[in-house]
Structure 1
Amino acid sequence: MDERINIAIDGPAGAGKSTVARSVAEALGYIYIDTGAMYRAVTWSAREAGLDIENDEAVAAHARKLDIRLAPGPEGQIVLLGGEDVTDRIRSRDVNLHVSRVAAIDGVRVRLVEMQRGLAAAKGVVMDGRDIGSHVLPDAELKVYLTASVQERARRRHREAGDSLGITLEVMEREIEERDRKDMGRAVSPLIQADDAVLLDSTGIPADEVVSRIREMALEKLAEAKQDAL
């Protein structure tokens, strides 16, 4: 393809953003960027360092010193922190419970958004998160707000990691509802659907079908861009 666009996929926890975004990127030959993993890396590192995550200045200063890199791996994306693979460690329940707080810190977001925009400058990326279409990449050619019912999202998360986390499906539902409340209610870049984003509810829809729909929308946007260039 001569033309390339940027694709922003936003939505709440457990909506399947990472799985879908990764597959869309593979289908189009684009680069996949999991911004949530970047916030998880900051959270994990701050907790490991013994920082009080209620101390905005300390956590933001810590984030500015971190070297966070994303690389392709055999099972998806690898998250490197200072050159060390922390992909599995940032998916712990402790990180799940504290990442929304860290993501609400303005200094942390400023640092990571700067990195994310730099990655997307050359076009051809699929980026997922909470505020990609509304804040990080407001000029993305295709924006999708991917969601699903709380019950569906809890089932997915529990099926993926519930046993390893040692919690019940009911607890998972409550934690996801609390995560939604924090993400939607934060003062800095809250989780919202961008005005020009396509709403896609994945409840009961297989992931491959969701990927197919987004791929078709991307091809339509590419065709429009080529037509406009004539």
Structure 2
Amino acid sequence: MRNKPVVAIDGPAGAGKSTVARGLAKALQYAFVDTGALYRAVAFIADASGISWDDGPALAQAVLRHAFHFTADGTLHMDGVPLGGEIRTSRISSGASAVARHPEVRTCLLDVQRGLGREGGVVLEGRDIGTVVFPDAEVKFFLVATVAERARRRWLELREKGESISLAEVEAAQEARDRADMTREVAPLRQAEDAVEVPCDHLSAAEVVAHMRDYIAAKFPAGPDSF
């Protein structure tokens, strides 16, 4: 039995889940888990090992050869080594969606994700947290934003990292990733029936976090550490 709530934040790529989830976790003094980073790590491992993103069994075996954990600030570590910019490139973004469609990979990472949130007091963000990973999460949010706005944000992020790519290319990649995420056979991206939808097009990350905090405060009047 959990001692504190699990907060699930789902939504499409580029909706601002990581920024918002990190901010909410800090506000609640909860742990933060970026589950998308795990799939990025799998794509990164595949590239480094010469494994095809289409080879589900080989990818799953590769996952089992590594140990993953998140530090308090939400940084993913693989075998004790922090993973940062190397898993945040446009190529690895595409790879994350590609490897995520394999049932073998999702099964391996499902146990990892559930282990990280088992005791509660955690904010997890991803594509299927509220529907598959923690369908019994006490709080569920689903972020929504237009493709154009999500692509614009991603383009600015990539430019800051020095990547040379056009806004049109980013938007096309965003649309392709949406299709892949929503049509995969296993754990497709969809909004949980009991999730609170949060439109993010015209809100800052701070405003979204404030909205979520207000919702949680109303749901747990005694505070987020008790329910």
TM superposition score category, shorter chain reference: over 0.9
**Contact residue 217 and residue 223 of structure 2 kept, 8 A:** no
1:130: how far off? Answer: 0.2
Rounded to whole Å, the distance in 2 between the matches of 1:88 and 1:62 is 21
* Pairs within 5 Å for 1:157-196: 157-162=154-159, 164-196=162-194
Rounded to whole Å, the distance in 1 between the matches of 2:55 and 2:38 is 19
TM-score (norm 2): 0.93
**Is 1:153 matched with 2:136?**
no
Question: 1:121 — aligned with what?
Answer: 118
Rounded to whole Å, the distance in 2 between the matches of 1:188 and 1:196 is 20
User: Residue by residue, what CA displacement relative to the aligned partner does 1:75-106 show, whole Å, maximum 9, x if unpaired?
Assistant: xx322111222211001122112111101111
| Runs of 4 or more above 3 Å deviation | none
**Contact residue 162 and residue 168 of structure 1 kept, 8 A:** no
Query: How many residue pairs were aligned?
Result: 223
**Contact residue 5 and residue 222 of structure 1 kept, 8 A:** no
Question: 2:218 — aligned with what?
Answer: 220
**Contact residue 80 and residue 87 of structure 1 kept, 8 A:** no
CA RMSD of aligned residues (A): 1.8
Rounded to whole Å, the distance in 2 between the matches of 1:224 and 1:140 is 18
1:225: how far off? Answer: 9.2
Rounded to whole Å, the distance in 2 between the matches of 1:208 and 1:67 is 33
Rounded to whole Å, the distance in 2 between the matches of 1:120 and 1:53 is 27
User: Residue by residue, what CA displacement relative to the aligned partner does 1:90-138 show, whole Å, maximum 9, x if unpaired?
Assistant: 0112211211110111111111111111111111110000000000000
Rounded to whole Å, the distance in 2 between the matches of 1:32 and 1:79 is 10
Rounded to whole Å, the distance in 2 between the matches of 1:151 and 1:47 is 29
**Contact residue 100 and residue 183 of structure 1 kept, 8 A:** yes
Rounded to whole Å, the distance in 2 between the matches of 1:86 and 1:22 is 16
Question: 1:89 — aligned with what?
Answer: 86
Rounded to whole Å, the distance in 1 between the matches of 2:53 and 2:168 is 27
**Contact residue 15 and residue 148 of structure 1 kept, 8 A:** yes
Rounded to whole Å, the distance in 2 between the matches of 1:148 and 1:5 is 26
Which secondary structure state, in structure 1, belongs to the residue aligned with residue 111 of structure 2?
helix
**Contact residue 68 and residue 78 of structure 2 kept, 8 A:** yes
Which secondary structure state, in structure 1, belongs to the residue aligned with residue 72 of structure 2?
strand
Moved more, 214-223 or 192-201: 214-223
1:224: how far off? Answer: 8.2
**Is 1:78 matched with 2:75?**
yes
TM-score (norm 1): 0.92
**Unmatched tracts of structure 2, length 5 or more:** none
Amino acid at match of 2:141: V
**Unmatched tracts of structure 1, length 5 or more:** none
Rounded to whole Å, the distance in 2 between the matches of 1:225 and 1:212 is 15
